[in-house]
Amino acid sequence: MNREIHLASRPQGWPTADNFRLVEAEVPTPAPGQLVVRNRFMSVDPYMRGRMNDVKSYVPPFQLDAPLDGGAVGEVVASEAEGFKPGDTVLHGLGWREYALLDARAARKVDPSLAPVSAYLSVLGMTGLTAYAGLLEVAGMQPGESVFVSAAAGSVGSLVGQIAKLKGASRVIGSAGSPAKVERLKALGFDAAFDYHDGPVRDSLKAAAPDGIDVYFDNVGGDHLEAAIASMNLHGRAAICGMIAQYNETEPPAAPRNLALVIGKRLTLRGFLVGDHGHLRDRFVRDMSGWLRDGKISYDETVVDGIENAPEAFLGLLRGQNLGKMLVRV
Amino acid sequence: MNREIHLASRPQGWPTADNFRLVEAEVPTPAPGQLVVRNRFMSVDPYMRGRMNDVKSYVPPFQLDAPLDGGAVGEVVASEAEGFKPGDTVLHGLGWREYALLDARAARKVDPSLAPVSAYLSVLGMTGLTAYAGLLEVAGMQPGESVFVSAAAGSVGSLVGQIAKLKGASRVIGSAGSPAKVERLKALGFDAAFDYHDGPVRDSLKAAAPDGIDVYFDNVGGDHLEAAIASMNLHGRAAICGMIAQYNETEPPAAPRNLALVIGKRLTLRGFLVGDHGHLRDRFVRDMSGWLRDGKISYDETVVDGIENAPEAFLGLLRGQNLGKMLVRV
């Protein structure tokens, strides 16, 4: 028997467990060129909230009464495709189910002896590349610059801060949503960290970065982006990766109200998707593997067990209950 | 006798004539290394509104009870500096007065036989370079792309649209504030133009650019920037030159509310000042001189006579009463 999570209804504002449905289905059989994969880990990511809305975007919306999808890693259990055999570990895009039926070209083999398989969904996967590409290519961080990252205890943010230090940032500041997360950031080597509940972000950032910031890696939007614009030095750059603060808002947000500062300060705000930066993958894997081998990068995972708990894992992610990467062990 | 315009008080919101004062002073005498210039034309520009506020910015604020300053062109009447003699025409930064006392290194000689001297304040000067650099370098417009410019009947905007066509834009759209200005844009070769009073900018732009836009040259901010973000194609770029819609607002504006679209569309918003793009000056002068000689560029000037009317010229500029460059003939 296969179990999968369907989208039962489209959320208005914050999603709830009622928007999801656990459905039993048959374990699929591969046609020529196809694989069946028993998923071991699946990823839940903030961008999935956008796909629950029925709007045109860079990825099509999730369909009602059909399984959700997203990054997953698992073992091939049946193959009708050359180059894949049972027991192979593959990375692919059909999470939210126990067994996935895939075209072989949509699967990428990974080596489970090099790293725990979950790492291919986090530090060695899309999450890590997002941090790497956004910081170094989109924002173009240079040694000696000062970097601020929001949602810094999350999967992408915690890597952004560590990569920044490894690449020579003069000062790295992170914001997070609890005292425990702030402590974790300090342990990860951030020069300063603050809990955004403790006061206006603008004031907390000014105190943490008295000489301003050169680069902002935005995972949050709203008041965080406004604060970053206020603190930016001349020629500052923001790599805009996500705006989790507003994904569940039913009214569009008003911030940033200080956008006119981009002129006098000559700021650049640039949105990006990791999919445009695949040309960095080899360099990223080489750098990141080395840093992991040398113990220079730490990464956190928050693991929830059981496909039936995947909706709760996703809702917990939106509420900030994760430290590092939020994963479901299927 | 010399007459000059002083800042009498700092405006709150929209400035009025009471914020200015006409003051008589002595005609200055040059010290060694200095010139005295009889100004012929002076420029009024939107950025001057920001300098009337007592806030730190990229240029220092105007001082109370002292003359304003800004671009001007005039004739040397006395020189104690090598290389300058009475009768020379010079471009410099001390407008808002009839006679200017300058260090020679702050003056640049221009050739009055090549173009009317006022052109050095408009099409051949900072105005023209702003349009050229913003469109071609900051936004990186490529042939075949679609371009939208706001305040398109203004000095910078009208040049942006014409340069875009000359550099191979597939479609150029402009917004302006009156039916007469819209007609003028069509005469200048814009493919589409609309009066922003005729309805929500977002709707007017969608109708004028049914296939979206690739580049936005922003002179206005607010609802114009929001509309541009809504209409932008993937990998679109905005060169943010000015936000005249909000210079006189006492409450910060709420728009753009759709800023999160920069992620999925991978948009870049970049503020700029022409002063950072001086390396383009030679190329700009070569291009622009050629276009003017060949009759490929038209430029409008709205000229107000008399230094005593400079405040009214500036207020008229903020109200959009100019077609093309607003100048004062001193």
The pLDDT of residue A288 is 96
With tokens 């490529």, the residue in question is: B142
Say whether pLDDT at B255 is over 80: no
The pLDDT of residue A255 is 65
Interchain contact A254–B (C-beta under 8 A)? yes
CA distances from A268 to A180, A228, A295, A321, B211 (A): 33, 12, 34, 32, 25
In chain B, CATH 3.40.50.720 covers: 126-275
- CB B299 within 8 Å of CB B274: no
Homologous superfamily (CATH) for B126-275: NAD(P)-binding Rossmann-like Domain (3.40.50.720)
Cis peptide before A256 (omega within 30 of 0): yes
The pLDDT of residue A251 is 77
Interchain contact A278–B (C-beta under 8 A)? no
Neighbours of B114 (CB within 10 A): 13
Inter-chain CB pairs, A–B, below 8 Å: 87
Interface test with A, best of B266, B272, B273, B274 (most A CBs within 10 A): B266
The pLDDT of residue A254 is 65
Query: Can you say how many angstroms the Cα of residue A194 is from the centroid of all Cα atoms in its chain?
Result: 20
> Which alpha helices (H) appear in chain A, and where do they start and end?
47-51, 126-133, 155-166, 179-187, 201-208, 222-231, 261-264, 281-293, 310-318
Query: Can you say how many angstroms the Cα of residue B303 is from the centroid of all Cα atoms in its chain?
Result: 15
Say whether pLDDT at B53 is over 70: yes
Is the CB of B272 less than 8 angstroms away from the CB of A265? no
* Fold classified for B2-121+300-329: Quinone Oxidoreductase; Chain A, domain 1 (3.90.180)
Shortest alpha-carbon distance between residue B86 and chain A (Å): 37
Tell me what ipTM this predicted complex has.
0.88
The pLDDT of residue B246 is 82
Is the CB of A269 less than 8 angstroms away from the CB of B252? no
Tens-level pLDDT at each residue, chain A (330 residues):
999 999 999 999 999 999 999 999 999 999 999 999 999 999 999 999 999 999 877 778 999 999 999 999 999 999 999 999 999 999 999 999 999 999 999 999 999 998 999 999 999 999 999 999 999 999 999 999 999 999 999 999 999 999 999 999 999 999 999 999 999 999 999 999 999 999 999 999 999 999 999 999 999 999 999 999 999 999 999 999 998 888 888 777 766 889 999 999 999 999 999 999 999 999 999 999 999 999 999 999 999 999 999 999 999 999 999 999 999 999
pLDDT in tens, B75-105: 999 999 999 999 999 999 999 999 999 999 9
Query: Residue A269: helix, strand or coil by DSSP?
Result: strand
Q: Give bridge partners of residue B327 from the DSSP assignment.
A: B43, B303
Spatial CB neighbours of A27, under 8 Å, sequence gap ≥ 6: A1, A2, A36, A99
The pLDDT of residue A164 is 98
Is the CB of A271 less than 8 angstroms away from the CB of B271? no
pLDDT in tens, B91-145: 999 999 999 999 999 999 999 998 999 999 999 999 999 999 999 999 999 999 9
Spatial CB neighbours of B9, under 8 Å, sequence gap ≥ 6: B18, B19, B64
The 10 Å CB-count burial string (b at 16+, else e) for A137-173 is bbbebeeebbbbbbbbbbbbbbbbbbbbbbbebebbb
Write out the two tokens for A116. Answer: 């725990």
The 10 Å CB-count burial string (b at 16+, else e) for B241-260 is bbbbbbbeeeeebebbbbbb
